[in-house]
Chains A and B, each alone.
Chain A
């Protein structure tokens, strides 16, 4: 491994916009510039098992490159109201059945990493950070831009059937609705909005979003 070369950063996420956001946060927290020449994707709409399998295979893949490169990995998947997240929400209303059937994502990712890389995180040969926003990446973007916001909604869009089930009436604007409104009010594209969020003051947002603070702590733990 050559210590004078920039660390390689591999991010598993759903799209370029998410990747740009997580990569910039990693740069800011670690103070490092990364080589990031390969993109790893989970197809949008994939189920949780596919995302977990992709994460496992990515770890399998990159750990073989570790002898030649200094490597860091970000595994990014929205929590989407799955149970068991240490930074998870409490819900004032009962969640709809499809949400209740979800498997705990954050704990299963931790378990997969410990089974693959070992129980002692300090001995892992590669840096790994779990980006599991509660409930979606938009939650972090909105929190970073407005850390004083009251409670954020849980669902993607007010038109989503699950949101309608949860609220039992016409749902208020949900995360993507608020994101779009935020971009509109700032006169920004989504790319610009996500970049602006990744450039925002991290501490106030981490104080109100425990899932974000967990991610930032993972990044700080990279050697």
Chain B
């Protein structure tokens, strides 16, 4: 992890340490042949099922692993298993490029002819950058209180992190999580942890109108997901890149207009990247003032491509219609900017 200045948020407030990724290029990785795109602090990733959205998120983990591994050992240790290449395209080169907000860059290329090449340094470890595909049942699990806990990719560790914040010296962060949680789920009156047995904790919630707190296991899946996402964002040592699968899963669409700005604000203020996949047009609507932050993943001839919604609006003359008549979510759903499922044949020829 890069050195972090102490701050009340848990993130660095020192702009000299900011290292948000502003552009990436992916070469010959899983479904990607050669794709590049600019990133915003909070980027929303949309596309049809099986277009490569999940591969896009996994790319960051594998790229950081490659850079970390090569840099730490200063020798070539790359195996193809560590970097799954495209099955169809027998290309010589594979690798990636990152550009950062502080004008630095990292290039990692491996080629049959040019050999292996690494320029620059990524200051993170791959283990600190999970892809979050949250299992609500893991969020409500009984967990053993552990120092230095973090939220894991499946959502486990949420109770541990909340316990550390509440009972350590970062109650401010716990209060922040509780505050957002109460705002988004108005039935929640109080968030706390109950000791199940010695050293074992479980999240519990006091709901308005109920006499006794209920355990997290009794909360809806969506409520557990909201709590987990808030904990990921506000934990003391959050990931430098937050990769969230299906962020809209279980969330009421009305919450999007609160959750999206909150994530954007956290990412911007702390110079980190948040990338979240979604299939929900209402969430896309929230990006009307930041069309370059919506990344469209498409697959053509077996290869995934990347572009932004802003790119796709070129030539469409979107300004010629009232945006209220065609919100961005509708526009994406329509297929006019791509990122929709392939044609389904329903013909009944005899």
Contacts and interface: CB of A to CB of B under 8 A. Distances in A.
Interface of A: 12, 16-17, 19-20, 24, 36-43, 46-47, 49-50, 52-54, 56-58, 60-61, 64, 191-192, 195-196
Contacts of A191: 346, 348
A129 B159 CA distance: 60
B343 interface: yes
Report, nearest first, the 7 A-B pairs whose CB atoms are least far apart: A195-B348, A53-B321, A53-B326, A49-B325, A53-B325, A60-B317, A40-B335
B322 interface: yes
B139 interface: no
B348 A41 contact: no
A180 to B, nearest CB: 17
27 contacts: A12-B334, A16-B343, A17-B346, A20-B346, A37-B342, A37-B343, A39-B335, A39-B341, A39-B343, A40-B334, A40-B335, A43-B281, A43-B334, A46-B330, A47-B325, A49-B322, A49-B325, A50-B325, A50-B330, A53-B321, A56-B321, A57-B318, A57-B336, A64-B315, A191-B346, A192-B348, A195-B348
B186 interface: no
Interface string B311-349: 000011110111001100011011110001111111111
Nearest to B335: A40
Contacts of A54: 326, 330, 334, 336
Contacts of A46: 330
Interface of B: 281, 315-318, 320-322, 325-326, 330-331, 333-336, 340-349
Nearest to A193: B348
Contacts of A37: 342-343
B330 A36 contact: no
Nearest to B315: A64
A19 B344 CA distance: 10
B343 A38 contact: yes
A52 B320 CA distance: 12
Interface of A is mostly: helix
Nearest to B341: A39
Given A37-B343, A39-B335, A50-B325, A57 B348 contact: no
B343 A24 contact: no
A40 B336 contact: yes
Given A24-B347, A39-B343, A195-B348, A57 B316 contact: yes
Contacts of B348: 191-192, 195-196
Contacts of A192: 348
Given A41-B334, A57-B336, 16 more contacts: A20-B345, A20-B346, A36-B343, A37-B342, A38-B343, A40-B336, A41-B340, A53-B321, A56-B320, A57-B316, A57-B318, A60-B315, A61-B336, A191-B346, A192-B348, A195-B349
A176 to B, nearest CB: 18
Contacts of B315: 60-61, 64
Contacts of B344: 16, 39
Contacts of B342: 37
A140 B42 CA distance: 47
A46 B316 CA distance: 20
A19 B317 CA distance: 25
B90 to A, nearest CB: 26
Contacts of B335: 38-41
A61 B326 CA distance: 15
B123 to A, nearest CB: 42
Contacts of A56: 320-321
A49 B323 CA distance: 11
A39 B348 CA distance: 18
Contacts of B318: 57
Contacts of A24: 347
Contacts of A17: 346
B6 to A, nearest CB: 48
A61 B325 contact: no
A42 B333 CA distance: 8
Nearest to B313: A57
A173 B318 CA distance: 41
B331 A57 contact: yes
Contacts of B326: 50, 53-54, 57
Nearest to B281: A43
A19 B346 CA distance: 9
A185 B27 CA distance: 57
B333 A195 contact: no
- Looking at A53, A195, A196, the one whose CB has the most chain B CB atoms below 10 A away is A53
A209 to B, nearest CB: 22
A16 B346 contact: yes
Given A36-B343, A54-B336, A43 B317 contact: no
